[in-house]
Every structure is written in structure tokens, then in C-alpha cells.
């Protein structure tokens, strides 16, 4: 699943909610308490389900589950949640007609279980069929079998559809089932619906038959599925239209399905889908096992997309592109999500993790391979490198918290599962695969993956299975020492929380360098963490060699020799470790070595001798070490001076990313102006390259670079930036048909919208709100929603926040976007905080049953707090509101830790840092 990387912070920077698994999850066992007993194994399901959309929004159905008894028992235990079941109609049969007497049917709502007890024992080895009729409501909760709607432009009517979202544990809301990933079975599905609507499911439709008892209704019957987990079952009833991709006879039939008004926005998906699928068939050396692949854009969707086999569902912004208004970021986003979901067809669907502990095998892999898929589609973009930089920066930031969690993490209760769809599972998982690819080499890595897929296809696997396939291949190809295993190395990265800092100390008189490691933490604990230890791949170069291409590990710093001293020639100005950021760690040098690096960077003729990816790491590391007090801020600000001649996007991304937290801590303080002046000086030379907003650029990085710099220039009031934005917006407002004639430079619309709303009044706000209501393009609506939160009028912001909890005005999927955009501005912060405190009960109720969503609200407020008073205030709010925060405990732990970090930083460095900026 593409977790909702909210589209409000540029690219996908993205609000995958950063979560902590400190409390409940780390301590919970993969507890049998919440797992089904192993007495039965389902073999196949026959599911008949009829959908009523007209007025009552409900479904009725019957499921026959054919299963094998594994261990003697008198009770069948399976999942059921929020379904109405007539217990008298539950039947168990043995083989043909032999009915087994059922003595009782009972439910355990807390554990979402259903118990079917018999008067006799079920026999190991025998096959049984369990038949359960059921009904349920088609809710607007965005989970289970839920409803969505849109307004048909032609006749202005509201049209309804019903669609599934079962990952991780919501198939049980749609039909009783063995709802755990290890219980793979085949599915034979028949969907009843009103004539005039269509239905789709994982497999191809075979035939339509009338329903004699309901003359207006028909049954659609689908082919039997391949063996799969319940969370991948999918079906939908709608009046949507589709476009079919061109395909040759032997190829998978591809359809892009959307509401009729949006079917013209499917061209990119239609072209990219089949190309990426073919790329993966070659990469994994395994044919896609289904005959068709549908991709559907859903108007209301809680995540980004969901990889259901043969029927991938998407948020509209993640699948549809209107070429007349789309920015290059929109195109990248859609290509990336399509590539992510199609990668899951192998990693996740064909080979599925045994339990959610190894969710990262699904999500980390899909994220990593998607970056390669996008690189294949758009080789001219250099997007793989940009993605690597973003992943590296994002993971190091989050994973430096005490309350982070391991990549491979024990989970028990279903509430805990939803919380690990986060940056650690997706982004850290992805970066670790990139790291392995680098130290094993492309050939070993790829062949090891192919062997793993071939061995476990149509079945389940866990982390150790992947390690053993990669180790066997690495030993066969001779790319890993016979004494080493991938498990020995990688368990240190996936089973421990956090990452190391490599400490590099040179002895300038003895011409040696000594390496050691410890866990990097943003708040240093009083006790040093001696337990944590990683296998760190060592790559390095010196100022004499300056060869940054040797990215394959020459040696390892490990737990046996955690103090490694090697010779180093004295006439080197500097030594740099971790070539091209191939490993997930920070590097701390001694002061003299740092000053050598600073002097090379500040020489306009020499700075390019250091690879751009290493310039990124040096910038980011220097900020982080200064923040925790391991390095003087003076060195960091000396280093940043070199940016006046930096011409590349990635180092600027790192620099502005590193200054962002300082900006947050200076905001709303007497020194905000000092910081603003510093930023104006810092940006002046790079902004002059991009000053004219009307000039449109080509190329992925160039456009990103201009967007980044322009947004910062306007944020820090560089004179003509805001003026240009307001002038362009004012011209647009005067045009007779502003919806079809948006004269603003396409790539800079988010910046211009926000500036116009920030410095404008009601007229500008109403104008943009009207554009939002009239727009038929998901990605454009997302930009407008974010911009409307930029207002400086408190009453407008209050009204906007109130609207966000009314799904008839703003879709439920977008409510958090609204809150985030309001809370991120200077004035909006106070308005949003007040709204959160007053409305916590309403917000919590609005998101049920997904409690983890509420954590996002607290996170965006907490991340901007920086004083002891604010810490006490938010802590007190959390204590008072605990009843409304269930399922968000992980995010909350991290938020509290972040406020503590901010408070500590403010008390130590607030005054010192100002001296470096004047």
C-alpha cells in the first residue's frame, strides 16, 4: 500500500506519519492472544455478495469456506467485525451433505473473533465447509466495504459507489474470514448489483446472470483467483468508465477505470502501467500470474493506493494526470505510486510476509523497486539519486529518536498494525535494500531476489528467508566472504532501533585514523548505549585521491572490532567516509578534518571534487552534530558559506532541510527577523538564477530546484518574490474564464497561491475556494486545499478548519491536509492549536475506526513547540484527552520527544546561533 504520503509538503515529503512504537508495540509479542489458533487452514472461499446503494447503503451475502482441519478441536475460530450474522443459519458440513451439528456461535468483539462450536470433534486431515450468511452496512469510514461518491458534471447528480479497502485487517468487516496474511486461499466471487452499474474484482468476469428474486439486479461471476491473503481481496460496484491499454495477445489486459468525467486523465497510467509491469517481469524473472490488471481511481480513499491483486485502487491524485495542468511533481508522484503498487504484485502478493512484523518486506521493497521503475520510465530525470537523498535525510531524522522502532517489529492487536505503515517500514526499509544492493553488487542482489521469489511464490516468507537466498547467491558469486552471512550483517540493521554514527578520529602525529561507533540519538541519554552495534560497510577516500566511486565495502566495522585503527598519509587535508551515502549512518570527524573539508568546499574551484551525494551528507551531518552539541555551530555556518557557488539541487535540498528546524525554532520569537535576514543573504545568489517566475524550465531536477528556491525566497520575504506572485495572481483573477485559462506558471502555482492567500483578504480566498469547487482534477484540488490554509485572517482559518470536519464540504480523506496547511503558518499555528484543543472529541469521532489519524494533528502542532511551558501544555492536553487518542500512542510518544528536543535546543543554542547569523 502506498501509505498516504500527504501531498501537502512538496513532493511526497509527505506526511507518512512518523510513528513511534515505543509503548505498546515493542513490548507486545506477536501475541497468540490476537492471532487465530492453528486448528484450521482455509483452502477456498466462495463469496456471494449483493450491494444496495440506492438508499440503504448495505450489503448482504453468504460465504462458504472450505477448510482442512489441522489439529483436533471442537471449535472453529475466525474473524468477524461489525457484521450482522444470524447465528442459527451458520452451518458446518463434512464433505458432501453431512451436516455437523453446531452447538453455539459466539463473538469476541474486542478481538474481532467469531467462535463456531460443535458437539463433536473435528478430525485432523478432514475437509469441512463452513457456511455463514451475513449482512453489513456500507459505511463512509474508508475501511472494509465502504462508500464513496461524486457529482456527475452532466446532470449535477450525486453518484454512489462501493469499494473495498482491506489492508491490514478489515476484510473481516466485509465477510467472515481467516483474516491473517499466512492463511492464503483461492476465492470464487459473485457480486450482485443493480442493473446499470458494473462490478469488478481481482479476477476477470466470466458471466452475468439475472437474480430471479430481484428483477432489477444481476449477479456477476468472476474466475477463481490464485491463492492469496484476505487483505488482497477486492471488489467494487460503480458506474465508472474505463480506458483499455493497447496490448498484444499474450500480454496482460490493462484497464484504467475512473468516473466518466475523469477518464480523460488516464493517459499516463495507461502507458506507464504495462511498461512497468513488463520491466518487473524481467527484473524478477517471473511472469505476472493474472490475465488482467485493473487500476481504479477512487474519489474517497484513505491511503495513497492499495495493491489488491489484479485490481489496484488509488486516490485520484495518485493515478490521474491532466496534462494541461499537471506539474512534473504530479507526474513523478503518479509514476511512482503506479510503480510501487505494481512492484507489490510480486513483493507482497506473490510472496507475502507471514505476519505483519515483516511488513517492511512488502513496503520497503515496493518503495525501493518503484524508484527503479520510475528511473526506467524517465531515465533523463536522475530521479533515483533524488529519491536516495530524500530517503536518507528523512530516515536519519526520524530514526534518531529514542521512540523510533525497528524495521522488523513485533505487532499484536490490529490497531498496532495500522501504525507501522510508516517512514520506518517504507523508507528505512527501502534504503537498507539500496545499501545491500551496493555492498553485494547489482548481479548478486538481483539474482538473490529472483531465487527468493521463485522459492516462495504463492506462499509466505519472513525476513530470514530473504537473508538466506541473498547469502547463498553472494557465496556462489563470491561477492561476500564465506565467513559472513547477510543475516549476520543485516539483522543489526532491521532488528535494532536507530542507526550508528561512525566516529573518525585522526592522529596527525602517528598518521593513523581510528574508527568507532555508537547509536546516534538527538537527545543523548545519560547512559551511553553500549548494546547497540551495527555491521557498518566501510568506504572512504582522501583529499589526495578524491575517488568517490568506490562504493563497495572494502572492510566492515563490526561488533567484534569496534575500534579500528588504520594508517593514513599525513599530507591529506581530509578523509571522507561513506562514499555516495551508500550506508545508513552519520560520520563525525575531528575538528581539524572538518576544517579541511570546509576549506575545500569554500574554494569555488575545488568544491566539486567532493561528490554531490557526499556534499549532501556533510551538510546534513554538520547540522545534526551541532544540534546535539557534538560540533560547534560555527563550523556548520562556515561550511554553509560554500553554498554561494553550489549549483546542484540535492545539496541545496539538504541545506534548506537542515535550516528548516532552525526556522521553526526562530519563528514567533524576537529573533525571527535576524533569521529572515540571514536567509535572504544566503539565498540571494541562487535566487538570482531563478528570479523570473514566468520563465518555465525543463528537466526534473531543474524544476524542483527552482520550486524549492522560489518557495524559500517568498517565505523569507525576498522583495520581488512576493510582489511577482501577487501581481500574477491579480492578473489571473481578472481573466474572464479563470478555470480554463490559468495563466500562472504551472510549476510555481503552489507558491503563488499561498502568497496570494497570505497577503490577500476575503476576495482572494473566495476566488481560490471557487476554483477548488469547480476543479475536476484531483492534484489541482490538493494544491488549492493546501494554499487556502495560508490565510492570515483568523476567522477564515477557523471557518476552514470547521469545514474540514464536514465531509459534504471537504472529503474526509483531505481533512488532515487542511489542518496541516493551517497549522504550518505563523498565525495558523495558534488557530489550529486552539481548534485541536477544543475539538479533539469531534476529530477523534470523525476518524473512527482509524485512531492513528488523530496523531497527525498532534504531531504538526507539537513539532513547532519549543518551550517548557508549551511542553507542559501539550502534555497536559494529551493526558486529559487520552480517551480520544487510542491508536495514536506511537505518534504521540514521538511528538513529546520532539518537543523535548526543541525545548532543550532552544535553551542551549537559541542565543548562540543568532551570533552566527548576524
**Any catalytic annotation for residue 341?**
yes
Provide DSSP, 512-568: EEEEEEEE--SS--SS---S----EEE-EEETTT------S-SEEE-SSS-SEEEE-
Is 7 annotated in a binding site? The answer is no
Catalytic residue among 7, 180, 341, 747: 341
User: Cα 691 vs. chain centroid, distance in angstroms?
Assistant: 33
Provide DSSP, 76-104: EEEE--S-B--GGG-EEEETTTEEEPEEE
No. of helices (H) and no. of strands (E), the chain: 27, 30
Is 33 annotated in a binding site? The answer is no
CA distance 3 to 829: 26
CA distance 880 to 878: 5
Provide DSSP, 208-247: EEEETTEEEEEEEEEPPPPSB-GGG--EEEE--EEEEPP-
Contacts of 186 (CB under 8 A, 6+ apart): 43, 44, 45, 224, 225, 226, 227, 228
CA distance 429 to 863: 24
CA distance 229 to 181: 5
At 127, list the grid cell. 475437509
At 597, list the grid cell. 573539508
Q: Is 460 helix (H, G, I), strand (E, B) or coil?
A: strand
Phi, psi (deg, nearest 5) at residue 222? -110, 155
Which strands form 500-507's sheet, in the order they lie side by side? 564-567, 512-519, 500-507, 586-589
Neighbours of 40 (CB within 10 A): 23
CA distance 382 to 594: 29
CA distance 635 to 622: 8
CA distance 837 to 819: 13
Is 475 annotated in a binding site? The answer is no
Nearest to 414 by CA among 852, 894, 840: 852
Annotated catalytic sites, by residue? 341
**Residues of each annotated binding site for Zn(2+):** 340, 344, 363
Amino acid at each position: 500500500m502506498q501509505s498516504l504520503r500527504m501531498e501537502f509538503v512538496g513532493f511526497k515529503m509527505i506526511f507518512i506519519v512518523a510513528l513511534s512504537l515505543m509503548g505498546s508495540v515493542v513490548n507486545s509479542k506477536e501475541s497468540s492472544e490476537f492471532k487465530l489458533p492453528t486448528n484450521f487452514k482455509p483452502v477456498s472461499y466462495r463469496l456471494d455478495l449483493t450491494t444496495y446503494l440506492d438508499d440503504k447503503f448495505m450489503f448482504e451475502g453468504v460465504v462458504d469456506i472450505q477448510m482442512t482441519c489441522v489439529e483436533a478441536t471442537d471449535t472453529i475460530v475466525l474473524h468477524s467485525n461489525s457484521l450482522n450474522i444470524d447465528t442459527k443459519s451458520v452451518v458446518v458440513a463434512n464433505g458432501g451433505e453431512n451436516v455437523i451439528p453446531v452447538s453455539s456461535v459466539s463473538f469476541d468483539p474486542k478481538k474481532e473473533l467469531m467462535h463456531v462450536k460443535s458437539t463433536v470433534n473435528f478430525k485432523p486431515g478432514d475437509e469441512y465447509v463452513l457456511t455463514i450468511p451475513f449482512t453489513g452496512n456500507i459505511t463512509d469510514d474508508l475501511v472494509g466495504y465502504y462508500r464513496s461518491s461524486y457529482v456527475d458534471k452532466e446532470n449535477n447528480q450525486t453518484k454512489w459507489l462501493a469499494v473495498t479497502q482491506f489492508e491490514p485487517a478489515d476484510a473481516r468487516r466485509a465477510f467472515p474470514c481467516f483474516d491473517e496474511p499466512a492463511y492464503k486461499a483461492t476465492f470464487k466471487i459473485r457480486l450482485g448489483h443493480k442493473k446499470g452499474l458494473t462490478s469488478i474484482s481481482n479476477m476477470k468476469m466470466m458471466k452475468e446472470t439475472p437474480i430471479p428474486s430481484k428483477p432489477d439486479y444481476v449477479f456477476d461471476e468472476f474466475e477463481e483467483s490464485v491463492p492469496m491473503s484476505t487483505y488482497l481481496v477486492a471488489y467494487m460496484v460503480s458506474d465508472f468508465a474505463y480506458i483499455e491499454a493497447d496490448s498484444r495477445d499474450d500480454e496482460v489486459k490493462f484497464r484504467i477505470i475512473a468516473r466518466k468525467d475523469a477518464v480523460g486523465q488516464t493517459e499516463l497510467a495507461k502507458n506507464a502501467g504495462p511498461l512497468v509491469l513488463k520491466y518487473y517481469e524481467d527484473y524478477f524473472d517471473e511472469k505476472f500470474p493474472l490475465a488482467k490488471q485493473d487500476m481504479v481511481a477512487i474519489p474517497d480513499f484513505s491511503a495513497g493506493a492499495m495493491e489488491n491483486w489484479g485490481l489496484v485502487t488509488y486516490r485520484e491524485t495518485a493515478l490521474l494526470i491532466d496534462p494541461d495542468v499537471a506539474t512534473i511533481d504530479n507526474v513523478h508522484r503518479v509514476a511512482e505510486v503506479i510503480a510501487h503498487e505494481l512492484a507489490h504484485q510480486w513483493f507482497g502478493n506473490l510472496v507475502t510476509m507471514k505476519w505483519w512484523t515483516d511488513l517492511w518486506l512488502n513496503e520497503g521493497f515496493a518503495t525501493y523497486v518503484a524508484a527503479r521503475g520510475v528511473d526506467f520510465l524517465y531515465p533523463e530525470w536522475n530521479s533515483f539519486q533524488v529519491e536516495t537523498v530524500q530517503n536518507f535525510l528523512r530516515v536519519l531524522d526520524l530514526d534518531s529518536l529514542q521512540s523510533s522502532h525497528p524495521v522488523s517489529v513485533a505487532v499484536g492487536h490490529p490497531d498496532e498494525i495500522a501504525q507501522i505503515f510508516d517512514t520506518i517500514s517504507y523508507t528505512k526499509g527501502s534504503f537498507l535494500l539500496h545499501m545491500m544492493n551496493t555492498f553485494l553488487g547489482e548481479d548478486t542482489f538481483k539474482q538473490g531476489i529472483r531465487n527468493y521469489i521463485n522459492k516462495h511464490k504463492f506462499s509466505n516468507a519472513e525476513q530470514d528467508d530473504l537473508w538466506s537466498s541473498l547469502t547463498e547467491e553472494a557465496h556462489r558469486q563470491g561477492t561476500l566472504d564465506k565467513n559472513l552471512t547477510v543475516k549476520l550483517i543485516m539483522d543489526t540493521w532491521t532488528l535494532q532501533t536507530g542507526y550508528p554514527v561512525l566516529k573518525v578520529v585522526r592522529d596527525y602525529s602517528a598518521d593513523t585514523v581510528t574508527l568507532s561507533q555508537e547509536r546516534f540519538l538527538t537527545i543523548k541519554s545519560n547512559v551511553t548505549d553500549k548494546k547497540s552495534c551495527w555491521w557498518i560497510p566501510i568506504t572512504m577516500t582522501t583529499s589526495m585521491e578524491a575517488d568517490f566511486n568506490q562504493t563497495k565495502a572494502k572492510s566492515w566495522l563490526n561488533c567484534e572490532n569496534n575500534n579500528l585503527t588504520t594508517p593514513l598519509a599525513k599530507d591529506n587535508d581530509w578523509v571522507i567516509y561513506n562514499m555516495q551515502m551508500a550506508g545508513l549512518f552519520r560520520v563525525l570527524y575531528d575538528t581539524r578534518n572538518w576544517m579541511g573539508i570546509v576549506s575545500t568546499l569554500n574554494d569555488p574551484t575545488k568544491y566539486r571534487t567532493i561528490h554531490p551525494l557526499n556534499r549532501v551528507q556533510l551538510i546534513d551531518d554538520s547540522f545534526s552534530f551541532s544540534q546535539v552539541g557534538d560540533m560547534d555551530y560555527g563550523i556548520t555556518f562556515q561550511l554553509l558559506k560554500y553554498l554561494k557557488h553550489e549549483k546542484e539541487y540535492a545539496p541545496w535540498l539538504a541545506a534548506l532541510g537542515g535550516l528548516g528546524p532552525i526556522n521553526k525554532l526562530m519563528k514567533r520569537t524576537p529573533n525571527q527577523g535576524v533569521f529572515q535576514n540571514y536567509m535572504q543573504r544566503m539565498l540571494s545568489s541562487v535566487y538570482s538564477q531563478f528570479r523570473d517566475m514566468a520563465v518555465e524550465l525543463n528537466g526534473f531536477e531543474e524544476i524542483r530546484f527552482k520550486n524549492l528556491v522560489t518557495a524559500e525566497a517568498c517565505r523569507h520575504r525576498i522583495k520581488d518574490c512576493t510582489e511577482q506572485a501577487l501581481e500574477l495572481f491579480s492578473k489571473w483573477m481578472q481573466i474572464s474564464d479563470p478555470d480554463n485559462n490559468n495563466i500562472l506558471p504551472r510549476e510555481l502555482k503552489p507558491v503563488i497561491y499561498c502568497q496570494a492567500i497570505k497577503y490577500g483578504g476575503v476576495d482572494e480566498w473566495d476566488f481560490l475556494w471557487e476554483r477548488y469547487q469547480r476543479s475536476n482534477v484531483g492534484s489541482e484540488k490538493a494544491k488549492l486545499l493546501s494554499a487556502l490554509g495560508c490565510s492570515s485572517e483568523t476567522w477564515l482559518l477557523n471557518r476552514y478548519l470547521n469545514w474540514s470536519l464536514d465531509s459534504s464540504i471537504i472529503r474526509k480523506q483531505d481533512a488532515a491536509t487542511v489542518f496541516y496547511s493551517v497549522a504550518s503558518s505563523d498565525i495558523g499555528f495558534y488557530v489550529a492549536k486552539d481548534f485541536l484543543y477544543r475539538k479533539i472529541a469531534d476529530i477523534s469521532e470523525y476518524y473512527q475506526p482509524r485512531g492513528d489519524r488523530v496523531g497527525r494533528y498532534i504531531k504538526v502542532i507539537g513539532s513547532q513547540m519549543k518551550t517548557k511551558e508549551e511542553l507542559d501544555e501539550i502534555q497536559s492536553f494529551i493526558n486529559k484527552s487520552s480517551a480520544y487518542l487510542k491508536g495514536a500512542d506511537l505518534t504521540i510518544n514521538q511528538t513529546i520527544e520532539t518537543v523535548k528536543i526543541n525545548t532543550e535546543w532552544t535553551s542551549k543554542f537559541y542565543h548562540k546561533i543568532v551570533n552566527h547569523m548576524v
